[in-house]
Structure 1
Amino acid sequence: MPSSLRVRLRSLRTATAALTVATVGALLPAPAAQAVRAAPESVAPFEQQVLFKADRDPGYACFRIPAVVRTVKGTLLAFAEGRVNDCGDAGDIDLVLKRSHDGGRTWGPLQVVNEGDGDTHGNPAPVVDRETGRILLAETYNTGRTDSKNCDTPCDRTPHLQYSDDDGANWSAPRDLSKEILPPEWNSWYATGPVHGLQLTRGRHKGRLVFTANTETWNGSRVTANHAALIVSDDGGDHWKIGATDSYPIPADGTFRQKPSEMTITERPDGAVYVSGREQDGTDLGHRTHTVSRDGGNTYTAPFRAIPDLYTPQVQGSTLQFGKRMLLACPADPDRRRTMQIRSSYDGGRTWDSVDRGTTVTTDWSGYSDLVRADRTHVGLMYEGGAVDARDEIRFARFTEDWLKPRRGPDPTTSDRAPGARPAAVLGGARVTPGRFG
């Protein structure tokens, strides 16, 4: 789409949204009066809607990379990458936003938070400072392309930050964070999030802001290392530093044990930070990898390790502490991005529900996601989905704990006589019977 037409479309969209707001505002009572007469909160166990889609939001060919947070005023801010020309990862990409004031039931018009203007401005990682109300948005830039291809290696990726002090209505100009959190050896791939960050609520580092970054090192001819890091701030986002980092060398033959990337973080009830990452092309079994930080994100207690029993394709996922459960949203098909599920852990992420215990959101194609506490009773799930392709649209689902499958006891097992093998779980309600031979 020619840039002039795109500008006109965006201008038309903005003007239309402003006219709609003005017209509707003239007919409706003042916000305070509305609040007095607000209907009782819905407790529907599950509902969902399309949030971003190209044929509904003119000026964009594709929307990807969801991230969502709830502000101190209860507003939900749903971020995405608005991809102008196609679904490619390194084209002309804007950061866009929609806001909801009723827990995700309805949403306002699309806002452009950061226009790529031909370059890639993406990987949203929002964090809410609940002491000041400020919303901080970490993001990553690189030079845009017009041929739908990925960024060349090494890629010129740089971290930036914006903030809003009015519940996401307006945003500051972006500032480059390279001097603070981009050391010289992280000179190739660099990605913030993409998923919400958090503010710690317990322990010695209470109030600290944290988001994740995945980076690579380039030696002039090839990528030689991968780094999975936490980025932290102790002054409300004015300054940032690199915290916990786990680095993995990549040998010359390209064979490596694991490569944690696109990490999601959750503060557990015990104050530890649980870190779950996408496992990318390593030799370890399993497609999720995880670790924990017990010192507010300064260090990891151990290197990342893969979770062989947690089946999911190579894809970004999201986690959220929800009462006594920790939730994980990710596709459940082991080798393709399909069948979005919610799985639960009842021990702080040490073990997770198997696929048969998870709750299926859709059997459609599905990809990246983010989770948020939408209101007092509902969790919100923002995810990529589609009947034909996972990149068809971005949806927002709301569900209660009653909608999730209840916790159940351990399945029966049968011994595996292979050396060193663990007993196998027996699924489907099978039980011991007298049998034909005893």
Structure 2
Amino acid sequence: MRRLFAAVIAGAWMASASAGEVEKIDLFEAGRDGYVMYRIPGVVVTAKGSVLAYCEARKSGGDWSDIDVFLRRSEDGGKTWSPQTQIVHNEASVPPNPVAPKSHAEQGVRTVNNPVAIVDRSGAVHFLYCVEYGRCFYMKSDDDGRTFSTPVDVTATFDAFRPEYDWKVLATGPGHGIQLANGRLVVAVWLSTSTGANQHHPSVAATIYSDDGGKTWRRGDIAAPDTPETDDPNETVVVQLADGRVMLNVRNEGPSLRRLVTISPDGATGWTKPEFVKELAEPICMGSIVRLPASAGVGPDRLIFAQPHKTPIPAGSPMPKEWKDRKNLSIKVSRDSGATWPLVKTLEPGPSAYSDLAVLPDGTILCLYERSREVGPDAKGKPYDRLTLARIPASWLPE
């Protein structure tokens, strides 16, 4: 078992805790403890109400750098936090991926990538992560995220895709996976044949799932294939709708410049033909999604989506010069299970990028996201200086 530090330290909130206001605290800062940056955030709320925030800790900036995985834990809804603790170590025993950049292999670097937690109503926390974009490992916590079991290699689940799609690179999430109402664990994944840029293109999106509490994993159908219209479906987020269906919201580089959505009755098979969402512009950046159910007692059933916001432009229009700039992280709300997204409100106007969302038992929304050291709509710099947790009361959401 891997022990996590139990000490809890208080953080300095960036905003007052007055009713209806967003509270922000920085959880991971670039340059600390020998890591150039902390990226690829994930956040979940356990069955006991504890908050787990985790990320990649990179010793250089790139996706193929020397990377570990760190976690912080809160028992008071994200107000105070344990120190950051390494829960996944660089796996030197795993050989380098043959398609990795030449410099990566020459330096003897091993990449740990795309950590994903899945909360189980039984109290367990399941955890998946990848090594070298070529192997996937599973571990489990039975003590509310304090310790995790010895990792088990579950790459055979992905090998089952090969007859249909001969991938060279694999990745889970990023963000978090979900447990369906029937107990099934579902994790979004993407796969690449690695013939394009950064060894991550072209790609397709799918899911893997477990029906026995994480003991075994199986592949689902490819949900979003690579076509000229969809173009490189990759980092995907998953949510179960109020009627029990499962929705994937997919990053892609298609010419429509919009998010891609497909729906399944069980999170694994029977995916609908992927369709673009008119109101969700795609700035070519990971997004995050969570359901705020009516049972939380803070309003009607809603889907919450976070991503750097761009005003949608006509499908097929040339990509504007600054379209891929990562800033203006915004919260978007749907009241009809994702059919429309008419409500938008800015959470971080300055440089901001990847995010993940979770919901506390009282309906407070948590957003862990990447942002710059500078703040404000005119701030400069890269959005990877820190990972910040925002506590968002339901009353703050756009109406």
Q: TM-score range by the shorter chain?
A: 0.7 to 0.9
CA RMSD of superposed structures (Å): 2.6
CA distance in 2, matches of 1:193, 1:236: 18
Paired residue for 1:116? 90
TM-score (norm 2): 0.80
Select the residue among 46, 61, 64 that pairs with 1:71. Answer: 46
Paired residue for 2:29? 53
Q: C-alpha displacement at 1:44, in angstroms?
A: 4.9
Write the deviation string for residues 166-207 of structure 1: whole angstroms up to 9, x where unpaired: 111111222111112323344322110001111011xxxx00
Q: C-alpha displacement at 1:297, in angstroms?
A: 1.3
CA distance in 2, matches of 1:162, 1:42: 39
Write the deviation string for residues 21-61 of structure 1: whole angstroms up to 9, x where unpaired: 7xx9xxxxxxxxxxxxxxxx985531111111034x41211
**What pairs with 1:344-383 in structure 2 (closer than 5 Å)?**
344-353=333-342, 357-383=343-369
Q: Which AA in structure 2 matches 1:236?
A: G
SS of aligned partner of 1:358: strand
Given that 1:79 and 1:97 are in contact with CA atoms closer than 8 Å, whether structure 2 keeps it comes out as yes
Paired residue for 2:384? 391
Q: Which AA in structure 2 matches 1:316?
A: M
Select the residue among 171, 183, 187 that pairs with 1:207. Answer: 183
Q: Which AA in structure 1 matches 2:272?
A: A
Question: Compared with structure 1, are the counterparts of its residues 186 and 67 closer, same or farther at alpha carbon in structure 2 (3 Å cutoff)?
Answer: farther
**What pairs with 1:5-404 in structure 2 (closer than 5 Å)?**
43-55=19-31, 57-84=32-59, 86-116=60-90, 118-131=109-122, 133-142=123-132, 157-183=134-160, 184=162, 185-201=165-181, 206-217=182-193, 226-246=203-223, 248-249=225-226, 257-280=230-253, 282-283=254-255, 285-294=256-265, 296-323=266-293, 324-333=301-310, 335=323, 336-353=325-342, 357-386=343-372, 387=374, 388-404=381-397
Q: C-alpha displacement at 1:292, in angstroms?
A: 0.7
Given that 1:210 and 1:233 are in contact with CA atoms closer than 8 Å, whether structure 2 keeps it comes out as yes
How many equivalent pairs are there?
Answer: 343
Given that 1:103 and 1:375 are in contact with CA atoms closer than 8 Å, whether structure 2 keeps it comes out as no
CA distance in 2, matches of 1:301, 1:161: 26
CA distance in 1, matches of 2:149, 2:166: 27
CA distance in 2, matches of 1:223, 1:80: 20
SS of aligned partner of 1:136: strand
Paired residue for 2:14? none
Write the deviation string for residues 93-119 of structure 1: whole angstroms up to 9, x where unpaired: 001100000011111101101111541
Write the deviation string for residues 364-401 of structure 1: whole angstroms up to 9, x where unpaired: 11111100013413110000111321111100000112
Question: Compared with structure 1, are the counterparts of its residues 110 and 248 closer, same or farther at alpha carbon in structure 2 (3 Å cutoff)?
Answer: same
CA distance in 2, matches of 1:111, 1:168: 11
SS of aligned partner of 1:275: strand
Given that 1:68 and 1:77 are in contact with CA atoms closer than 8 Å, whether structure 2 keeps it comes out as yes
Q: What residue ranges of structure 1 are gaps of 5+ in the alignment?
A: 1-13, 25-40, 143-155, 407-438
Q: C-alpha displacement at 1:246, in angstroms?
A: 2.7
SS of aligned partner of 2:148: coil
Q: C-alpha displacement at 1:301, in angstroms?
A: 3.6
Q: Which AA in structure 1 matches 2:259?
A: R
Larger radius of gyration: 1
Which structure has the higher relative contact order (CA within 8 Å, separation 6+)? 2
TM-score (norm 1): 0.73
Q: What residue ranges of structure 2 are gaps of 5+ in the alignment?
A: 10-16, 92-108, 294-300, 312-322, 375-380
Paired residue for 1:148? none
Identical positions, percent:
33
Q: C-alpha displacement at 1:329, in angstroms?
A: 0.4
CA distance in 2, matches of 1:237, 1:326: 26
